[in-house]
Structure 1
Amino acid sequence: MTREDALTAAHAEVKAEITRTDSKTALLLAFVGAVLAGAWTVAKDAPLNAAAVVVGGLGMGLLVAAAGLLLRSVRPNLAGRHGFPLWATLTAEEITATATGRDLAADVAGLSRLAVAKYRGLRRAVDLTCVGGALLVLAALLTLGGAA
């Protein structure tokens, strides 16, 4: 495998990882939204005690924070130095010059940093979702225990 082939493969791998991370983020965002909507629907009509309100409120807050992290992870970077935003700012001659003088290794490095940042945000959002969900379950148990 030549150096150019290796760089092209690495470039494709990193772009595929960004796509996978964005897909996971979209699924988790839909899940968090559904949990928030479901929890709100159930809680608004339930006879909640003070402990359930506090614990459930913390859980909802963590889920909202997770949704914020997920949205930030997929937020487009229009000030980026590569990809569509770059091409949209160049003339036809500049595009040709940039494409022929393109440093694929630098592009792989930049995309890798982007992938790691997205992955880190997704991981934090998963952690917040787990803790927020656990708090909502605890709030439900407190409500059921208080109602008995």
Structure 2
Amino acid sequence: MSVTDLNLSAAHAEVKAEIARTDSKTSLLLAFVGALLAGTWTVAKDTALTVPTCTVGGLGMALLLAAAGLLLSSVRPNLSVRHGFPLWATLSAEEITAELAEDQRARDIAGLARIAVRKFTALKRAVDLTRAGGALLVLVALLQAGGAL
């Protein structure tokens, strides 16, 4: 095997692993955000809240919902890509054989890397929104406990 061949194989495996890592992180964060939303809703519906605490809490919940939307978009399959199995689904058996007769790893790496970057970008934004929404909910809890609002 040539150095290029080894590097292509390593890069291909790495980008696939990165996609799997993002999907795992996204799943965990989606479960966390869902639990946070459910818990907050359960507590808030049985609590007398002032208008300011409702406003701040509502903003926190909205940020968490936006984070959940980003996470869902991150795990939503994109079947419009033109490499790998979505491409193969559009080809005949003969075309697949011709396609696989050539080394397509570099093209596949580029396409998978773009997918990974999109997923990581959505995950990063969702984490930021979760932190901001959670901070607002903590603020509401502290203010509510102290009776400040």
Normalised by the length of structure 2, the TM-score is 0.94
State the Cα distance separating 1:147 from its structure 2 match: 7.9
Asked whether 1:124 is paired with 2:122, we answer no
What is aligned with 1:16?
A: 17
- The one-letter code sitting in structure 1 at the alignment partner of 2:28 is L
How far residue 72 of structure 1 moved from its aligned partner, in angstroms, is: 0.8
CA contact (8 A) 2:71 2:122 kept: yes
> In structure 2, what is the equivalent of residue 108 of structure 1?
109
Match of 1:76 in 2: 77
Matched residues in 2 for 1:33 and 1:83: separation?
A: 32
Superposed CA offset, 1:40-76 (max 9, x none): 0000001111111011000000000000010111111
Whether contact under 8 Å (1:70, 1:122) holds in the other structure is: yes
Unmatched segments (≥5 aa) in structure 2? none
1:76-127 CA-partner distances (Å, limit 9, x unpaired): 1111111221122211111111111242112111211111111111011001
CA distance in 2, matches of 1:27, 1:83: 27
CA RMSD of aligned residues (A): 1.5
Match of 1:98 in 2: 99
Give the structure-1-normalised TM-score: 0.94
| Residues matched between the structures, number | 148
Instruction: State how far apart, in whole Å, the 1-side matches of 2:8 and 2:140 are.
Output: 51
Cα distance in 2 for residues equivalent to 1:134 and 1:50: 18
User: Structure 1: which 4+ aligned runs deviate by more than 4 Å?
Assistant: none
Letter in 2 for 1:37: A
Unaligned runs of 5+ in 1: none
Contact 2:84 2:108 in 1 (8 A): no
Contact 1:14 1:115 (C-alpha < 8 Å) held by counterparts: yes
Looking at structure 2, the residues matched to 20 and 26 of structure 1 have their Cα atoms a distance apart, in angstroms, of: 10
Whether contact under 8 Å (2:83, 2:107) holds in the other structure is no
Deviates more, 1:99-108 or 1:2-11: 99-108
Distance (Å, rounded) in 2 between the aligned partners of 1:147 and 1:131: 21
* Distance in structure 2 (CA, Å) of the matches to 1:126 and 1:35: 13
Q: Does 2:29 align with 1:28?
A: yes
